[in-house]
Amino acid sequence: GIGRSARNGILIKGGEFLETSARITAVAVDKTGTLTEGRPQLTDVVTLDPDVDRRTLLRWAAAAEAGSEHPLARPILDTARAEGVGPEGIPGAVTPVPGKGIVGEVEGRRVLIGNAALLAQYGVDDDEGRAATAARELAAAGRTPMIVAVDDRVIGLLAVADTLRPDAPEMVRRLHNAGVEKVVMLTGDTRLVAEAVGRAAGIDEIHAGLLPEDKLDAVADLQRRGYVVAMVGDGVNDAPALATADIGVAMGAAGSAVAVETADIALMGDDLLKLPEAVGLARRTVAVMRQNIAIALLTVVVLLAGVFLAQAGVVAPPPP
């Protein structure tokens, strides 16, 4: 089974993991880079300050994001450079605020990029909730909104969207056909964005707005509910959940080295359909193992019965 999997681009790191994979009843998947392509594009630039135009909003946002390692920084920087307002160098300081956004220092001014909770944390007035309302509308459309504020003034929003992998709905369907009872999405994105992606993929249960430790807790909760859990992820943030799950599965081609090292199974490619293939192959392999054991035990029982019957004189002993 392990050799067959390896030929199909599925690296299973040991026999015990193959046997455990045959008992999987719930699969938890990360969203960005797993269910989606992992290549977000900037879709909306919304100005909320009459003194700020599109180029100015992009310039402030890109200057702050230049020092960020978050995947959503790349589409902002690419668009800003394409429109001639890309940053030169990096900002004075960039501080990530887990689950909320980033705080950057640009030209001696504070730039916030994130959600409404980030504004509240730094005491920035949302002007009667205009930014939060616009953010909810963008999120309902399946986009990830980011509010931009300079010092104590909200100047606009940016929104990015990632494309759902075309094979994600088929992966969910095949997992159900393979005997998996529940497919769960774990994401740090907002609830509205997660629900839009989850509906398109056919996900059974959605957990949104999670930090890395929250993903670990969600996996542990599934285990407490009696599920044998496989966790599928591709990033450093997924490593704790991968280690906690009964089976950790890393997207090998796009995954980080930490995720691949932590996982028990690595899918050596971006093909999500390898996941139900791995589960199905594990179930078939274990079924063959059980059949072989049953046949072997039955053979031993028949031979022992023959010996005892021969000794009792019920049947003639074999010729010498």
Q: Count Cα neighbours of 6 within 13 Å in the Cβ-side half-sphere.
A: 7
Q: Which of 24, 50, 19 is nearest to 231 (CA)?
A: 24
User: Is 30 a residue of the active site?
Assistant: yes
Angle at 138 (CA atoms; ends 239, 115), nearest 5 degrees: 55
Helix axes 191-201, 130-140, angle to 10 degrees: 10
Lookup result for tokens 């059974």: 204
> Which one of 30, 162, 238, 264 is the catalytic residue?
30
Measured CA to CA, the distance from residue 68 to residue 65 in angstroms comes to: 5
- Residues 6+ away with beta carbon under 8 Å from 101: 112, 113, 114, 115, 118, 146, 147
Written as six digits, the tokens of 65 are: 């994001």
User: Which H, E and C letters describe 119-174, residue by residue?
Assistant: HHHCCCCCCCCHHHHHHHHHHHCCCEEEEEEECCEEEEEEEEECCECCCHHHHHHH
Angle at 224 (CA atoms; ends 223, 226), nearest 5 degrees: 65
Q: Provide the annotated active-site residues.
A: 30
